[in-house]
């Protein structure tokens, strides 16, 4: 898992939080599923105290919910709630773009993480790692928000429900969709590099509204 590699060396509490959150963002856990403490502590290679603290944090952020009895469950969201969440996600990402350009944070050195995210996605597609494409895509969008250098903005963004993202399918058509997604990422990055905030925001909205086309099985990527 790419995310596991990225957070190597952190505390057990942080590792549990980041890995469990990433599994939720990638929609690897169905809504309503119970997060069994013993199972997940073993899966994430952390102690149960660290897992409980991570779950408490994720619950406060609205990504999981505590049930009527002791324990946590993957949160459910209505279609209306997911539409609202998508709108919030777009507003936060567009705000990040405006801030990056306005404050001159779009220098080549500052934008290297976004460039690396694009290069990583290109490598995955070239080498046939289709199942990792969705994870790489989310890394691009989260990196965009982090580069705005506003801690409150990042905290808000991390609370956006995973259902505001489209999942990636596994059909052959996903390779074409993934390459379209890569091109859209690079177009957004180029506009930011040139300081064209409005153009980058428009490209972002188009990208999220019709993210990289649709896979053969009808599941899009965002």
Residues 204 and 69: their CA atoms lie apart, in Å, by 42
Question: Which sequence spans correspond to the domains of the chain?
Answer: 2-74, 79-209
Residues 16 and 188: their CA atoms lie apart, in Å, by 32
What class has domain 79-209? mainly alpha
Residues 138 and 13: their CA atoms lie apart, in Å, by 22
pLDDT > 90 fraction of the chain, expressed in percent and rounded: 41
Q: What is the pTM of this model?
A: 0.74
Q: What value does the mean pLDDT take over residues 154-174? A: 66
Region of poorest pLDDT, from 163-167, 183-187, 192-196: 163-167
Place of tokens 């049930």: 67
| Number of other CB atoms surrounding residue 146 within 10 Å | 17
In the sheet that holds 64-66, the strands lie side by side as 34-35, 72-74, 64-66
18-34: per-residue pLDDT in tens? 888 888 877 788 888 89
* Cβ atoms of residues 72 and 66 within 8 Å: yes
Structure tokens at 143: 């990196």
Residues in the chain: 222
43-90: per-residue pLDDT in tens? 988 999 999 999 998 888 888 888 766 788 888 877 888 888 889 999
Say which CATH architecture domain 2-74 belongs to: Orthogonal Bundle (1.10)
pLDDT band with cut points at 50, 70 and 90 for residue 136: confident
């Amino acid at each position: 898992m790419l995310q596991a590699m990225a957070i190597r060396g952190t505390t057990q509490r942080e590792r549990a939080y980041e890995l469990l959150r990433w599994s939720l963002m990638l929609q690897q856990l169905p809504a309503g599923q119970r997060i069994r403490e013993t199972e997940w502590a073993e899966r994430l290679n952390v102690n149960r105290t660290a897992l409980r603290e991570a779950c408490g944090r994720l619950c406060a952020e609205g990504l999981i919910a505590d049930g009527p009895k002791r324990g946590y469950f993957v949160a459910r969201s209505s279609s209306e709630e997911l539409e609202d969440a998508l709108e919030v996600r777009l507003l936060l990402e567009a705000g990040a773009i405006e801030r990056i350009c306005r404050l001159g944070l779009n220098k080549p050195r500052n934008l290297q993480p976004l460039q690396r995210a694009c290069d990583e996605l290109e490598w995955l597609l070239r080498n046939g790692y289709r199942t990792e494409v969705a994870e790489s895509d989310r890394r691009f969008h989260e990196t965009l928000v982090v580069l705005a250098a506003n801690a409150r903005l990042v905290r808000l963004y991390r609370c956006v429900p995973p259902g505001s993202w489209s999942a990636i399918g596994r059909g052959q058509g996903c390779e074409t969709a993934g390459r379209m997604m890569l091109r859209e990422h690079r177009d957004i990055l180029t506009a930011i590099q040139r300081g064209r905030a409005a153009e980058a925001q428009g490209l972002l909205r188009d990208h999220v509204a019709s993210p990289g086309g649709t896979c053969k099985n009808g599941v899009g990527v965002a």
